[in-house]
Every structure is written in structure tokens, then in C-alpha cells.
Amino acid sequence: MKKIGIIGGTGYTGGELARLLCRHPDVEIASMTSRKDAGRRVSDVHSYLYGYADLEFTEKVSDDVDLVFVATPHGVAMNEVPSLLSSGIKCIDLSGDYRMHDVPTYEKWYGHTHTDVENLRDAVYGLPELFRDNIKGADLVANPGCYATATILACAPLMKSGLVGSDIFVDAKSGTSGAGMNPSARTHHPTCGESILPYGVGTHRHTPEIEMAVQMYSGIKPDVLFVPNLLPIVRGILSSCYFTLKDGVEPEDVESIYADTYANEPFVHAVPDPTIRAVVGSNHAQVGLKAFGNKVVAFSVLDNLVKGASGQAVQCMNLMMGFDETAGLDFPGLGV
């Protein structure tokens, strides 16, 4: 049993990591930190972990762990990761700190200086279906954003096919748990509970992440207008991606791209009608597309807290540690 630490255990992704790791056959949760809840029992804070997480939150992560998940707000991980790596502890960062390989791009979209440029350059982008081999050998993995995961899974294969133009409109819809546990005007129920709220249009930080990862996979830099929307549900993302077929390409030419790309994947499935409820609670994602004339709409769904965050992080851990890739994640979505 390998020992695992979680930095930032109070938040949604930290709790979700515990929900998944407590049933993982190859690891134990040795340490969970929380600035706010240090000294409290984990299951008193997260009552759903009663019987599954028999430890207390601490201020600092213990140093006898083999791997640490950093589940903190943006800007924290870059202060924690260098010393962890120096101590020989592998790291998976669930924040945006290590996602952008290009420092100026990072600083432009995140609005401040990056203080760990060296590790930024070596960090591996943790999307297993596209970059599995890189993840296997990595000491530091940047876990992708939730919107980014959904969108990249839909866009990368189409872009790689060479059959669509590089202009992409992405109309993405997310459950509110993607906003994290801190209350805000936008996630206040009277504001969002009976509406759908576009926000961060053209300025959301997943935009350059999507463009970077799609280019890494396909060799082609897309030009993405990314429009996120807050949905009145708790878990789940639907990313609807709009493409134009190149001249001479017919709708039927793109129909089997997803089935071909993801045929052997345990967690990503080509289906006729991707449905959020089919994947909620699980690490599975579904993709599907429909083409008419010269236009394509591709749909991608996942649970933002699982395949869009903590589940994908566990999947990356499995690859980094040499476990079965599906260990601790091999169960279906709720369906209903």
C-alpha cells in the first residue's frame, strides 16, 4: 500500500479525492491538510466519509508519503510543489498552476508571475487518453481543468483528423460544484437556481489550456471562442463544440472519428447521445457528434468532480505509480 497525501482536503476536489481513494486497492490516505479544519476529524467535516476516512486534518502534509495531490486554489501549488519534488514525492496538481507550458501565456491569463518556472516546463499535462505515455514517467502532473477535459476530448480527435477548420466555438455548460465550495453571488441559489448563466466569455482560463492541449495532440493550433455557462445542477458538464468541415469533406467522413480514437479506452466512450446522468458520480466520459452540411456539433459529457478533476487525478496517479489504470475508478455512473 502506497501512502498518499492530500493538500487542501476541505474543498470539493479534496473531499472527492478521499471519496475515491478510500476504496482504492493500492493506496491509503496517510495525510489530509486543511488550513480551516486542522484538528477536526475528516468525517466530521465530510459526513459522507463516515467510516471511510479515519484521520484528522493537519496543517502540513506528512513527509512519509509517496505521492501528494494538491487540491488548493490557483497560486498555492507553486509554493508547495518544489520542496515536495525535492523530497522525492510525486505530485499531482489539480489547480491551474502547472497546466500552461508557456510562461507568458500563464502570466497573461492568470495575471501574476509564476514562481516555479522550472517545474512548470517539466510538468506533464495529465489527460491520459491523449498523453498516457508522458504521464507514466512523470513526477509532476498538471491535472486538466474540468471544462478543458470535456472540450479537449471532443476537439482533439477532430482537429487531428484534418477534416475540420481550426475555428471552434465552444458552448460549455457546467454544474455548480465546478465553482468550488466558496459561496459567491453567481452560485447563490436565487441567482443561478432557475437560470443558465454565461460568464467569463472570452476570458476563461481554460481557453488557452484547450488550445495548447489540442495543438499538442493534433499539431494544429485551434482558434477557440470558449463560452462557459453555469447550469442549475450540481455535477456534470456538457461541452458542445461547433466546427466547420473543410471544403469537400462530407458529414459521413467524420462520423466514426470518436469510435476509432477511443475504441480501447476504459473511461471515454463514443455514444450516439452523450448524457450527463450516465456519467455522474463516475470517471467515465461520453462523446458523440452530429454533422449536417458543412457543420459539425460535437458533444462531450463528464462529471466535473471526477473525470473533470479528482477521478482523472487518480487515473494519473495509477499511471505514475504503475497501478492498473482503472484501480479505484472502475464503477459506472449513476444513470438516474
- Distance CA(94)–CA(77), nearest Å, equals 9
Contacts with a copy of itself: how many residues (CB under 8 A)?
83
Q: Strand 197-198 vs strand 223-230: parallel, antiparallel, or unpaired?
A: antiparallel
Query: Is 196 a residue that touches a copy of itself (CB under 8 A)?
Result: yes
Of 23-42, which residues contact a copy of itself (CB under 8 A)? 23
d(CA 67, CA 4) in angstroms, rounded, equals 5
119: Cα separation from own chain's centroid? 20
Candidates 1, 40, 48, 79; binder of a copy of itself (CB under 8 A) is 48
**Between 46 and 99, whose beta carbon lies closer to a copy of itself?**
46
Q: Shortest approach of a copy of itself to residue 90 CB, angstroms?
A: 25
Q: Does 234 bind a copy of itself (CB under 8 A)?
A: yes
Among the listed residues 58, 105, 161, 191, the single contact to a copy of itself using CB under 8 A: 191
Q: How far apart are CA 160 and CA 277, in angstroms?
A: 29
Q: Output DSSP code: residue 87.
A: T
270 to 289, contacts with a copy of itself by CB under 8 A?
271, 273, 275-282, 284, 286
Report yes or no: 289 and 257 within 8 Å, Cβ to Cβ: yes
* 253, 240 Cβ separation under 8 angstroms: no
How far CA 245 is from CA of 1, 240, 248, in Å, comes to 50, 16, 8
Shortest CA distance to 258 belongs to which of 153, 139, 144, 119?
A: 153
Taking the CA atoms of residue 163, residue 168, residue 173 and residue 178 in that order, the dihedral angle to the nearest 10 degrees is 100
Residues 201-220 that bind a copy of itself (CB under 8 A): 201-202
Binding segment (CB under 8 A) for a copy of itself, from list 47-55, 109-117, 133-141, 214-222? 47-55
Closer residue to a copy of itself in complex, CB, 141/168: 168
10 binds a copy of itself (CB under 8 A): no
Helix axes 206-218, 146-161, angle to 10 degrees: 30
197 interacts with a copy of itself by CB under 8 A = yes
- The yes-or-no answer on residue 146 being catalytic is yes
Binding residues for a copy of itself restricted to 49-68, rule: CB under 8 A: 49-52
* Smallest gap from residue 179 Cβ to a copy of itself (A): 8
Which region, judged by CB under 8 A, interacts with a copy of itself, from 9-17, 61-69, 70-78, 317-325? 9-17
Residue whose C-alpha cell reads 480527435 in the numeric block: 157
Among 73, 111, 219, 332, binds a copy of itself (CB under 8 A): 332
Nearer to a copy of itself, 40 or 121 (CB): 40
Classified as helix, coil or strand, 306 is: helix
Considering beta carbons, is residue 125 or 299 the nearer one to a copy of itself? 299
The whole-angstrom separation of Cα 125 and Cα 137 is: 12
Task: Please report how close the Cβ of residue 271 comes to a copy of itself at its closest, in angstroms.
Answer: 6
Neighbours of 322 (CB within 10 A): 9
User: Within 108-167, which residues bind a copy of itself (CB under 8 A)?
Assistant: 167
Give the residue numbers annotated as catalytic, written as ranges: 146
